[in-house]
Amino acid sequence: MNQNLLTIASIITMLPLAGSLLAGLLGQVLGRTLTHRIAIACVGIAFFMSIYLFNALVIQGVPAIDHVFYTWATANTFHFDIGFLLDRLSATMIMVVLFVSLMVHIYTIGYMADDSGYQRFFSYVSLFTFSMLVLVFADNFLLIFFGWEGVGLVSYLLIGFWFERESAVVGSLKAFIVNRVGDLGFLLAIGAILFYFNTLNYHAVFQQVDHVIGSTIALTPYMTIPALTLITALLFIGAMGKSAQVPLHVWLPESMEGPTPISALIHAATMVTAGIYMVARCSPLFEYAPAVLSAICLIGGTTAFFMGLLAVVQFDIKRVIAYSTISQLGYMAVALGVSAYDAAIFHLVTHAFFKALLFLAAGSVIIALHHEQDMRKMGALAKRLPITYLTFLIGTLALSAIPPFSGFYSKDIIIDAARMSTIPCAHYAYYCVLFGAFVTPLYMFRALFLTFHMNDRTEHHRHHVIHESPWVVLIPLILLAVPSIVIGQWMIGPMLFAKQTILGESIFVLPEHHVIAQLGEEFHGAAYMALEAGKTLNLWLALSGIVMAWLFIVMLPRWSVVLKKRFAMVYWILLNKFGFDAFNQRVFIAGTKEAGELCYKVGDVAAIDGVVVNGSSRSVKVLAHVMRHMQTGYLYHYALAMVLGLLFFVLWFVRG
């Protein structure tokens, strides 16, 4: 049985890679139709095989499998292995990743139909899927870093896919560079793990945690910190880069420069959730670093609330959803910080479906309006794009945590977990995610009303017929809408409160941190939770956000103008994204340029050219000039020099 599952996992991983290579190397020979059929078939077969894997590991309860395929390298006693870990967590993640990837592959046929880089795009998307599969299946920190860097590299290629646009080039570089900042922390963490544990294998590391708890690292001769604190802090820095936590969030809105299908893939279940998955996977380490858990609460809460505020002032429909993604990643980080790892993965799963749905529905609008993304040039599209409107509404309700849609269950659990947690900074995180429950429906229903309701502002498209997207675009929307409605109800019990949860032993939580167990005492089923939602502040805040959006956008749009003028400073701060981009531009980018120019002027021009190169030639010239005056041609000058020299040696000899 184990060997069969390992074979299936290997095939699942290699199928997207095969599709990528065929599309990339033979795409022009195969043609468009055959290229997308091969790529979709590879991902589709992998998805159905992942269902079998999920059934075996989660439903039938086959024990976790940790298998090394081969040793890549050895150094003294260190072994760097290529191996897979098949357990409940990896099986759940793989199935979600492949389902969303399959929907994106199908959707791409319609969205990229007129693009000259059709085959290249399929190659990149399949390669992106392969990298994510390696990341999830990895059984050690070296292999996860390979997948980690793989998704980072391919995201650079996809964000900059339309490389003729300067904005796409800048966005891809920004994403690549900011991710490298986080990756440096991850790489340092891997080095520290190798130093303290003498292995990079997950299970071997987790089994030795008790022996490392008392170890410390000297940062200075007078300051030491626990080794686990430093290791987990560095790991979370890596997660901050990939999962766009403040202040390393600035790359994510720029990823909107890529085609919409890849926006859905990056933002839904793949790249941005890699950091959340990694922290959940390393829960046996994080549980013994309470200071880091507290920092995660602080950063996650800040990200959830303040990045949601930025979506309120955006007019690009994709950027609204992008800032929403950052905010929801903050919710997941808060769940990690309060040790509710199961809840973080639960929200990751529900979010994957409704966020992919929202991005693809937004892409359907963009197709209908011939690649227009400004919501101020939309309006009254509900009747002309009925299926797109309905699916966008479902995604909006799910994201806004309105029962019984999927986001209601996962977000409410995170809010309640933050409320009950005793970890420092959990109360701050609680208020952030609580008020985020008001902000989320405010910006999402604002986008819904501006796009599909209000007055028709599509005058510049009057020479085009605005109609519903083709079925190859709509089918993925419908298939994603179904789990966006029901997956929360189906999974909340088995995921969080069953005697044997879906994630099972893949997650480790200390008894004093186990807020999910406390919440389980109050859980009486998904239906009861939905019916009792009216007694919670969460729902009333969400409904207030919807009403506020309706008032300021539909009923009394002049009020929004008055508010902008009355709170001009706040509006200016939000438009400037709290100054993060300006700070980075002036401090890091301008500072790096000035430091480089200083090094050039002082080191290269003054020191090397001025002193070493030109200085040596000037020294020879000066010496030659002095020596020239000594060569007078008069015999008595030379005789005097000989006498003086002889006198000098005689005195030196007598003195000695």
Q: Model confidence over 239-275: pLDDT tens digits?
A: 998 888 988 888 888 888 888 888 888 877 678 888 9
- For the chain, give the longest Cα–Cα distance: 119
Looking at residue 581, what is its pLDDT? 79
- 87 with 506: CB under 8 angstroms? yes
The phi and psi torsions of 382 (rounded to 5 degrees) equal: -60, -40
Low-confidence stretches of the chain (pLDDT < 50) are none
Tokens linked to 648: 């000098």
With left for phi above 0 and alpha for psi between -120 and 50, is residue 434 left, alpha or beta?
alpha
Looking at residue 656, what is its pLDDT? 58
Give the C-alpha separation, 437 to 429, whole Å.
Answer: 12
SS3 523: coil
Q: CA 443, 446, 452, 453: dihedral to nearest 10 degrees?
A: 170
Three-class SS string for 158-220?
A: HHCCCCCCHHHHHHHHHHHHHHHHHHHHHHHHHHHHHHHHCCCEHHHHHHCHHHHCCCEEEEE
Q: Residue ranges per domain, the chain?
A: 1-139, 144-214+230-267+274-579, 580-655
SS3 72: strand
Instruction: Count the helix, strand and coil residues of the chain and give each as a percent rounded to the nearest 5.
Output: 75, 5, 20
Looking at residue 522, what is its pLDDT? 84
The label of the residue with tokens 């766009």 reads 244
Picking from 387, 391, 338, 172, the residue whose alpha carbon sits closest to that of residue 262 is 172
The label of the residue with tokens 């969460």 reads 538
- 148 with 238: CB under 8 angstroms? yes
pTM: 0.89
